[in-house]
A and B are shown apart, each in its own frame.
Chain A
Amino acid sequence: MRREESTPRDGWEEIIESQGLAYHRSAHPVHLTRPYWDESVHYTFTMREVLDLESQVEELHGMCLEAVRHVIAHDRYADFAIPAWAVPEVEASWRRGDPHVYGRFDLRYDGTGPAKLLEYNADTPTSLVESSLVQWFWLKDVHPGGDQWNSLHERLVDRWKELPLQSGPAHFAWTNMDETGEEVMTLGYLQETAEQAGLTTVAVAMEDIGWDSRSLRFVDMEQRVIRTLCKLYPWEWAVADPFGPQAVRQQISMTWIEPLWKMLLSNKALLAVLWEMYPGHPNLLPAYLDGPRDLPAHIVKPLLGREGASMSIVTPGGTERTEGGYGAEGYVYQEFHALPDFGGWRPVLGAWVVGDEAAGLGIRETSGLITDDSSSFVPHRIIP
Chain B
Amino acid sequence: MADPKPDPVLPIHPLSQGAAAQRGKPPDEGWSSSAIVLGTMGLLSTLVIGFCAAQGTSADQVTADCVDLGSRQPDGSYQVVDDDRCDDDHGGSYHGSHGAYGWYYGGSRAAGRVLRGTTVRPSDAHISARSGTVIQRGGFGGRGSGGS
Q: Does B112 have its Cβ within 8 Å of any Cβ on chain A?
A: no
Given contacts A22-B45, A22-B48, contact A232 B147 (CB under 8 A): yes
Q: What's the least CB distance linking A25 to chain B, in Å?
A: 8
A212 in contact with B134 given A180-B52, A196-B31 (CB within 8 Å) = yes
Nearest-Cβ distance from residue A186 to partner chain B, whole angstroms: 6
Q: How far is the CA of A191 from the CA of B61 in the complex (A)?
A: 27
Q: Does A295 contact B (CB under 8 A)?
A: no
The reply to whether B20 and A181 form a contact with Cβ atoms under 8 Å apart is: no
Give the nearest-CB partner of B132 in chain A.
Answer: A210
With A154-B32, A196-B37, A246-B139 as known contacts, state yes or no: A18 contacts B42, CB within 8 Å: yes
Write out the residue numbers on chain A whose beta carbons fall within 8 Å of the beta carbon of B45. 17-22, 185
A125 within 8 A of B: yes
Instruction: Tell me the chain A residues, 150-202 only, with Cβ under 8 Å from chain B.
Output: 151, 153-154, 157, 172-189, 191-192, 195-196, 201-202
Interface residues on A, range: 35 or more
Partner of A243, one of B14, B140, B147: B140
* Docked complex Cα distance between A17 and B52 (Å): 13
- The reply to whether A192 and B137 contact each other, CB–CB distance below 8 Å, is no
| A374–chain B nearest beta-carbon distance, Å | 15
In the bound complex, residues from chain A placing their C-beta under 8 Å from that of B23 are 191-192, 195, 201
In angstroms, Cα B137 to Cα A201, docked, is 21
Task: Please tell me which stretch of A71-79, A234-242, A273-281 contacts chain B, meaning at least 4 of its Cβ atoms lie within 8 angstroms of it.
Answer: A234-242
> What DSSP secondary structure best describes chain A's contact surface?
mixed
- Asked if B143 is at the interface (CB within 8 A of a chain A CB), the reply is yes
Chain B residues, Cβ within 8 Å of A232:
145-147
State which of A151, A184, A241 has its C-beta within 8 Å of the C-beta of B141.
A241
Which residues B106-148 have CB closer than 8 A to chain A? 132, 134-148
**Minimum C-beta distance from A124 to chain B (A):** 5
B19 touches A (CB below 8 Å):
yes
**Mask: chain A, 66-97; 1 = CB below 8 Å from B; 0 = not:** 00000000000000000000000000000000
- Asked if A213 and B136 make an inter-chain contact with CB atoms under 8 angstroms apart, the answer reads yes
What's the least CB distance linking A181 to chain B, in Å? 4
Q: Is the CB of A207 within 8 A of B142?
A: yes
Q: Which residues of A contact B140 (CB under 8 A)?
A: 173, 175, 206-207, 209, 233, 238, 241-243, 247
Residues of B near A210 (CB, < 8 A) are 132, 135-137
Instruction: Count chain A CB atoms within 10 A of each CB in B19, B132, B135 and give the residue with the most.
Output: B135
**Nearest Cβ in chain A — how far from B110, in angstroms?**
14
Instruction: Assess the B147–A188 pair: CB atoms within 8 A.
Output: no
Given A19-B41, A174-B15: A183 and B147 within 8 A (CB)?
A: yes
**Given A20-B44, A174-B15, A203-B20, is A195 in contact with B39 using a C-beta cutoff of 8 Å?**
yes
Q: Please name all residues of chain A whose beta carbon is closer than 8 Å to the beta carbon of B15 when the two chains form the complex.
A: 172, 174, 184, 187-188, 203, 205
Q: Is B36 an interface residue (CB 8 A)?
A: yes
Q: Which residues of B contact A133 (CB under 8 A)?
A: 36, 38, 41
B13 lies within 8 A of chain A by Cβ: yes
Shortest Cβ distance from A129 into B: residue? B41
Q: Hey, which bits of chain A sit against chain B, CB under 8 A? A: 17-23, 26, 121, 123-126, 129, 132-133, 136-137, 140, 151, 153-154, 157, 172-189, 191-192, 195-196, 201-203, 205-214, 219, 223, 232-234, 237-238, 241-243, 246-247, 266, 306-307
- 10 A-B interface contacts by CB (under 8 A): A20-B38, A20-B42, A22-B45, A136-B36, A185-B41, A196-B37, A211-B137, A234-B148, A246-B139, A307-B148
Given contacts A20-B45, A22-B48, A188-B48, 8 further A-B contacts (CB under 8 A): A17-B45, A17-B49, A22-B46, A179-B55, A183-B146, A232-B147, A243-B139, A266-B148
Q: Which 9 A-B pairs have the closest CB atoms?
A: A243-B139, A126-B147, A207-B141, A178-B145, A181-B48, A22-B48, A20-B41, A203-B15, A210-B135
